[in-house]
Chains A and B, each alone.
Chain A
């Protein structure tokens, strides 16, 4: 029963990792941009939530109403203002620029909020749990997982059923031709980054409720996000969810063996997938 519990808890944890990863997956899928600053943007989302909560006294989950649009606008501006200029045949400039961005965000947060760990207080929901078949499941992890599934389902639906999704897929398929069809690549990329950072805001707020965070917390989130994306297979959003779950389950199983193995077990699972199936478990089937 302990092991079943570990698997279930790990699955729920995977929901949070999938939220970390969804934005990365989206951005890489559409514009082949590897965003090194993604983890720091998640943490920025947490701080944004914190500021909203402190300023207005809102419940952290209600603060999403403010944080999500603010991060979306920031994403659009960031893409149009800086990141679009780095995209081209060379993969190096976007890596360097987002790395720089990561340093800037970390230090700005350090300057503004000090290095003290912060946490958002979500009240009773943090400790509430429900009993399912003998397992005690936290309401917050359940909610996180449900939101992750909801976000990924919504992104997937948007991708295949809306004009915006069609534009994303067209630009991802062939940028040159998309331009000739009247699609403004820069604008489409801006919208993609806006959408990705909207998801990042959700990830940041759930992170900030679940655990304490500090300005340097981004790097770890970036790694988990990357691992989830790669385990699941590039360009596949449901795969990203599966990747997050696999990572989460590996960590809780590792922790079950020895609490010190938690992080290590996740990385080992990632390395095994990379060695056995480098394209990921569910790569997007072409066509």
Chain B
């Protein structure tokens, strides 16, 4: 399989604090990759670097074989990258439908009825259809998270980056979310998913990467990774020799 995304020695530091330290990995087309790691490990920063909201200090980012390291965020988005934010960031003055339309028209380049159709389809999928005309600023947290996913999906992404989208959801909501993400994955969209709700993550991803202090400290088959002593120590706070 060809890689849709390749990180090659990606680095970023804020002063003395290293938030991305020589990150290198490939994501195959159609693969679902899970990212775990303690708070402050640099997971969200990695998304910021990939999407281009934050310039990297060193290393390269290849998207579909093309070097996008110097490309602006808007250009990367139009090339097929979409993300959801851990803290939802809707256009709060716009309606839910308009939020979706921005992504469908600007990111996916759809027009007129096609764009509207795409938005309605995604809103149905994310269970926001009945709130389509509400202003995004009036939504509850759960609905804002759904809107994050909606917007990302309306962008017709080839690579979908999800940032702690299951956090704060009830069990039932989480189950339906997992199903939605599985459905999206089944259509061939590659996924990188940062998540603390490990069981949700394990239900979807093919591979896990563990990040701590901006470094990749483990990578591999999800069950094996979760069982490894160093992951249990660093990530779950259980000492290896306990």
**Are the C-beta atoms of A169 and B53 separated by less than 8 Å?**
no
Contact residues in B for A174 (Cβ distance below 8 Å): 89, 91-92
Let me know if A54 is at the binding interface, CB within 8 A: no
Count of CB-CB pairs between chains A and B under 8 Å: 75
The listed residue (A169, A179, A184, A286) touching B91 by CB distance below 8 A is A169
**How far is A163 from B104 in the complex, measured between Cα atoms in Å?**
11
Q: How far is the CA of A177 from the CA of B88 in the complex (A)?
A: 10
Interface of B, helix, strand, loop or mixed by DSSP:
helix
B94 close to A173 (CB less than 8 A) = yes
User: Are A182 and B93 interface neighbours, CB within 8 A?
Assistant: no
Contact partners of A181 in chain B: CB under 8 A: 74, 77, 102-103, 106-107, 151, 155
Contacting pair A180 B51 (CB below 8 A)? yes
Which residues of the other chain, B, contact A172 by a CB distance below 8 angstroms? 93
Q: Is B217 an interface residue (CB 8 A)?
A: no
Residues on B with beta carbons closer than 8 Å to the beta carbon of A166: 94, 98, 101-102, 105
- What is the CA–CA distance of A183 and B94 in the complex, to the nearest angstrom? 15
Chain A positions within 8 Å of B108 at CB level: 182
> B83, B89, B102, B138: which contacts A167 (Cβ < 8 A)?
B102
A170 is contacted by which of B51, B74, B94, B109 (Cβ under 8 Å)?
B94
Does A169 contact B106, Cβ atoms closer than 8 Å? no
Residues of B contacting A167 with CB < 8 Å? 102, 106
Q: Is A178 an interface residue (CB 8 A)?
A: yes
Contact among A169, A173, A182, A287 for B107, CB-based, below 8 A = A182
Chain B 138-170, CB-CB to A under 8 Å as 1, else 0, gives 100000000000010001000000000000000
Query: Within the assembled complex, what's the spacing in Å between the Cα atoms of A163 and B107?
Result: 13
Interface size of B by Cβ–Cβ distance < 8 Å? 29
- Chain A residue, CB-CB nearest to B73: A179
**8 A Cβ contacts from B154-210 to A:** 155
Q: Does B137 contact A (CB under 8 A)?
A: yes
A169-B78 contact in complex given A163-B105, A181-B103, A181-B106, C-beta closer than 8 Å: no
* A126 interfacial contact with B, CB 8 Å: no
B137 touches A286 (CB 8 A): yes
Q: Pick the residue among B74, B103, B155 that contacts A179 (CB under 8 A).
A: B74
| Set of chain A residues within 8 Å of B135, measured between Cβ atoms | 287
Asked whether B106 lies within 8 Å of A182 as measured between CB atoms, the reply is yes
Give the Cβ gap from A231 to chain B, nearest Cβ, in Å.
23
Give the residue among B92, B94, B108 with the most A Cβ atoms within 10 A: B94
Complex: A180 Cα to B89 Cα, angstroms: 11
- What residue of chain A has the Cβ atom nearest to residue B51's Cβ? A180
B72 interface residue per 8 A CB criterion: yes
Contact with B along A259-287 (1 / 0, CB 8 A): 00000000000000000000000000011
List residues of A (145-172) whose CB comes within 8 Å of B's CBs: 163, 166-167, 169-170, 172
Cβ distance B100 to chain A, nearest Cβ, rounded Å: 10
The closest CB in chain B to the CB of A165 belongs to B98
A169 touches B73 (CB 8 A): no
Residues of chain A within 8 A (CB-CB) of B92 are: 173-174, 286-287
Interface flags, B81-99, vs A, CB<8A=1, else 0:
0010100010111100011
Nearest-CB residue, chain A, relative to B106: A182
Complex contact A178–B77 (CB within 8 A): no
- Rounded to whole Å, the gap between the CB of B205 and the closest CB of chain A is 23
Residue of B nearest to A285 (CB): B93
A-contact 0/1 string along B55-90, CB 8 Å cutoff = 000000000000000001110011000010100010
6 A-B pairs closest in CB distance: A182-B107, A182-B106, A182-B77, A173-B91, A287-B137, A179-B73
The chain A residues found within 8 Å of chain B, CB to CB, are 163, 166-167, 169-170, 172-174, 176-185, 286-287
6 extra interchain contacts, Cβ-Cβ under 8 A, other than A166-B105, A170-B102?
Answer: A166-B102, A174-B92, A182-B77, A182-B103, A286-B93, A286-B137
